[in-house]
A and B are shown apart, each in its own frame.
Chain A
Amino acid sequence: MELEELKSAWGELDKRVKKQDILNRQIIEKMTKDQYQNNLKKIALPEYAGTIICYLGAAYLSVNIPKIEEPLIQFFGAITIALLLILPIISLQSVRAVRKANPSSYTYLEAIQVFGKQKIKFQKLQKLNVSLGLFLMVIGIPVLAEIQGKDLSQFPLFWTLYFPIGVAFFLGFAYWVLNYYNKALTATEKMLGEING
């Protein structure tokens, strides 16, 4: 089968699409309006929901931090609040950067390069998020316990069983997620290498 032969068959597709009469004025106008709503929805729901949860957590800790007496736990509490405030902002910005890209302002090659770079940035950020999330969990437990007036040393199995199991579970989860992002990163870098090479 020769590629030249396929060119004419390819051209035939145009005629068939026209015959099917997919679009009319109403559908086209509706597409331009509804897609605007869709794009807002794509940005709004999941990212904003995550941000609100983080900010509610930060607000709860801020209100309750005066209850903490131990300086080290206070320090952990401050770090936890800072992470809960900063992480969603970084995440939202990276997602928005991709969606803000204006397709009419690039050549095709530039679009691929911008896409590849943004994807790498996004994947690295996801890796950072997973690592910081784990760190957040470790330092968040004593902070929450202190706020709720619970002495962790009174739970004999906490440090010897529950905590190590929790950490092992999250390490396994983090390993799986990081592995996924590492593979995705390698694939993106390879794609960019091929394009630029």
Chain B
Amino acid sequence: MDIKEKFTKVIKANEGLIYKITTLYTDGTQDRKDLYQEIVYQLWKSFDTYKEQSKLSTWMYRVALNTAIFHLKQTKKRVDTIPFELEMERMTEEGDNAGEERIKILYEHIQHLNLLEKGIILLYLEGKSHEEIAEIVGISTSNVGTKISRIKEKLKSQIKNNDNYGT
């Protein structure tokens, strides 16, 4: 299998991860597409230097999340994007409405977290172990546990307040 084929396989297997990160770290479809392409590009750039010292998913999360951070800095300049569909609405067509509504509410509340908390909760929701989160984020495993508890409390109170205002 040549390197391009291998890379395509890896990206295809993880497109959900890229989609979620782009949705969390951008606020418009055009910007989302630009970040999507930038993540694929950055992953490609470092793919041949990726050494299998860490898990493939750890490397992918790290590059994708860090690319999202550096993308924040750039001013919104119009660039060409490859025509591809990347709409939240399209994802919802076949989903169940209640579950989708929950995800949307969760996305909204995660937007209020700071960048560190945002990254940690994303990894937590992705089902990553505390050890893997620690490796990707660069903090100690015990600190991951503390931070996750705090974020959970923060999100719970945000969602609770929202429910109170909504009713």
Q: A-side interface residues toward B, CB under 8 Å?
A: 1, 3, 5-7, 9-20, 22-23, 25, 27-32, 34-39, 41-42, 46, 98-99, 101-104, 106-112, 115, 118-119, 122, 191, 194-195
Contact = CB atoms under 8 A, between A and B. Distances in A.
B50 to A, nearest CB: 8
B52 interface: no
Contacts of B5: 25
Interface string B103-144: 101100000001110010000011100000001111100000
A24 B7 CA distance: 11
Interface of B: 4-5, 7-8, 11-12, 15-17, 19-20, 34, 36-38, 40-42, 44-46, 49-50, 59, 62-63, 65-67, 69-70, 72-74, 77, 79-82, 84-86, 90-91, 94-95, 99-100, 102-103, 105-106, 114-116, 119, 125-127, 135-139, 152, 155-156, 159, 163
Contacts of A191: 114-115
Given A36-B41, A101-B70, A119-B73, A12 B95 contact: yes
B99 A12 contact: yes
Contacts of B4: 25, 29
14 contacts: A1-B159, A7-B127, A10-B126, A15-B16, A17-B15, A17-B16, A19-B94, A25-B8, A27-B82, A28-B7, A104-B46, A104-B59, A104-B62, A111-B70
A177 to B, nearest CB: 14
